[in-house]
Structure 1
Amino acid sequence: MNRDGTNSHCSGSTEEPFVVEVKSSATDANGAVAELAEAEGKFLDYPSRQEAETHVAQLNKKGEVRVALQKVAQQDTTAADVYLIPQPERNVQTPVDSEADTWVFGVGANQYGAIGEALIKNPGNSPPALKNFIEQDLDQPEEELHISMVQNAAHSQYHDGRGRPRYKSWLPDCVLEVEKGYPGELLRKYWCEIKTGSSSFERNQTELMQQKASEPGITVLKIRVRLDDLPEQYSVRFQEVSPDTS
C-alpha cells in the first residue's frame, strides 16, 4: 500500500515490502482501519516503514480511536514486520491485544516507579548512584566509608511549631547510614525520596522532608530517575532538601 492508496506491488519496486498486519482490535476501534482491511485484507504492503507511518497518521485523522504500529515479537509466527493495533492506553490489567501470540501490557505508574526505585536501591549496600553521591558529599574516599541500607525505616511525623505531632507522615523510599570504617563512627544518615520520570513530589512530602532535614546528622534527598535510555543506561539527579526554618 503506497501513500496514495495504491498497492506497492504495482509500483514496479523490486525491494521487499514493509508488511503491516492489521489486528482485529484495530478494526473494531477505528472505522477507517476497518474499511481499509475490508478492501485490502489484514496484511498491508508498504514500500517502507515511513510510508506505513504516514498512512497510519492519515487513518488517525479519519477514525475514532488512534492506532499505532507495534513491533512484532521475535517468537511470533507472522509474516508481518509490525502489527497495527489500537494506541495503547495504559492497559495495565489486560493485554493491549489478547489475540497476539505475545501479550503486551502497559506499564502502570506504580510499576514504572518501582523500576526507578530498584535501580537506585540496588545492589544491596552498594547502590552505584547513591554511593557516588555520598562519597562526593562527604568528601571521603570509598575505602573509608561503610554504607548500609536501613531496613524498615520509621515514618517521619510532622510537628507544628510547638513540637506537637500532626496527622501527617512520610515514609522514605530508603534510608542509608554511613560510617567511617566498620564498625566505626556514624558520619551521616540519608533519607531519600525517589521519583521516576515526571511524577511529582507531593506538597505534604516536601513539608515533612524539610522538617526531617532540620534534624542534626541527617541529609534528605529528592532523587529523580530518568529511564528514557533503558536498557543501556539511566540518569539520576539529586536535590538536597533545605531544612525547615519556620
Structure 2
Amino acid sequence: MTFDAEPFTVAVKESAREASEPARRLATIEGDRVTFDSETEAHRRARELSAEGESVVKVQRAAPQDPDDVDGYLVGWPQRRHQTPDGSPAEGLTFDTEANQYGALGEAVVLTPEVNPPLLTHFARVDADLGEADADGDAGDVRVELDTDPDPVTVGSDRRWEPDCRAVVRLGPDRPVLTEYFCEVKAGDGSFERSQREAMRAKAREATVLKIRVDLDDLPDSYTAWVRTVAPEGDGEGETHRVNASLDSF
C-alpha cells in the first residue's frame, strides 16, 4: 500500500467552522474528526468546501509532536474578498471584517465594562433570582466584576481551555462573593473546539461555566445574546437563557 492510499484523519478546527458554512455542515454530519481514504482525498474535499462557501479552507499536516491523534487539520485560510481595501487614506479605507475581528467584537460587547457588564449583570440577577430584592441586599446593588485574564483550564496533557473571563458576583462592593462564572464568548456561528468542550465540562464540576453566543447583526443599536450553562456530564449543555439588550439598557 502506498502512503497516499492510507486513510488520512483530519480534525475540523474552529477556524474552518467559523469561516465556512460547508465546513460547519461537514463537522455537524461527520463529527470533529473526519477520516478520508487518502491525503489527496482530504485536500480535494477542502477545495470543494472552499468552492461551496465564501471562504477558503485548507488541510494542514499535524506536527509530529502534536498530541491529537490526527494526521492533519482542516483550517480556515484568511483571505480578503478584496486584496486591497476600497477607498484611499484621504477618503477612508474600507476593509472586510475577518473572523477573528468579529470574535473580538463579540467579546468587547459582552465583557465591557469590566464592572457590571450588561449581559452578565442581567444574567446574574436572573440566575440568583434577585427579582425585586434579596434578604441580604437590594437587587439593584448587584455587582459583577470581571477578570479578563483568568488561569487556563487543562485536562491531561492535550485538553486546554482559556476562559474569556471569570465573573465574580457580589451584592455590592466589598460584599462576600455570591457566585462566580467562567465564560467563553462566541460571536455569530463560531464553534467550540472538542478540547475546549472537555475542559469546560471538567471545570463545570467545580464552578459554573457559561457558553455565551452573541448576535451582532443589529449593532450599533442593539445585540442579542444567548447564555448556556455547561453541564459537567452528558452533552455538556444545560439550561439556555436568552437576553435581548439595547446598548443603553443598563
Report the TM-score, using the length of structure 1 for normalisation: 0.55
CA distance in 2, matches of 1:92, 1:126: 39
Name the counterpart of 1:90: 80
CA-CA distance at 1:180 after TM superposition: 3.4
CA-CA distance at 1:222 after TM superposition: 0.6
CA distance in 1, matches of 2:92, 2:176: 54
**1:92/1:239 Cα in 2 relative to 1: closer, same or farther (>3 Å)?**
farther
CA distance in 1, matches of 2:96, 2:177: 43
CA deviation string 1:23-71 (max 9, x = no partner): xxxxxxxxxxxxxxxxxxxxxxxxxxxxxxxxxxxxxxxxxxxxxxxxx
- 1:29-178 to 2 correspondences below 5 Å: 90-91=80-81, 94-96=84-86, 101-140=91-130, 141=133, 142-158=139-155, 165-178=156-169
Q: Percent identity?
A: 40
What SS is found at the alignment partner of 2:158?
A: strand
Name the counterpart of 2:185: 194
CA distance in 1, matches of 2:114, 2:196: 25
Contact 2:183 2:211 in 1 (8 A): yes
Contact 1:91 1:105 in 2 (8 A): no
Name the counterpart of 1:11: none
Contact 1:92 1:107 in 2 (8 A): no
Name the counterpart of 1:211: 202
Provide structure 2 residue ranges, at least 5 long, that are not aligned to the other structure.
Answer: 1-78, 134-138, 237-250
Higher RCO, 1 or 2 (CA under 8 Å, sep at least 6)? Answer: 2
CA-CA distance at 1:119 after TM superposition: 0.5
Higher strand share: 2
CA deviation string 1:199-242 (max 9, x = no partner): 11111111111110101xx2111100001111111110111111
- Code of the residue aligned with 1:195 in structure 2: it is K
Provide structure 1 residue ranges, at least 5 long, that are not aligned to the other structure.
Answer: 1-88, 159-164
Contact 1:96 1:106 in 2 (8 A): no
CA deviation string 1:166-203 (max 9, x = no partner): 33221111111112343222221101100001111111
- Code of the residue aligned with 2:223 in structure 1: it is Y
CA distance in 1, matches of 2:112, 2:205: 28
CA distance in 1, matches of 2:144, 2:168: 6
**1:111/1:236 Cα in 2 relative to 1: closer, same or farther (>3 Å)?**
same
What SS is found at the alignment partner of 1:221?
A: strand
Name the counterpart of 1:244: 233
CA-CA distance at 1:96 after TM superposition: 4.0
Contact 1:157 1:168 in 2 (8 A): yes
CA-CA distance at 1:97 after TM superposition: 5.6
Name the counterpart of 1:179: 170
Name the counterpart of 2:220: 231
User: What count of residue pairs does the alignment treat as equivalent?
Assistant: 150
CA distance in 2, matches of 1:119, 1:189: 19
**1:109/1:186 Cα in 2 relative to 1: closer, same or farther (>3 Å)?**
same
CA distance in 2, matches of 1:100, 1:183: 50
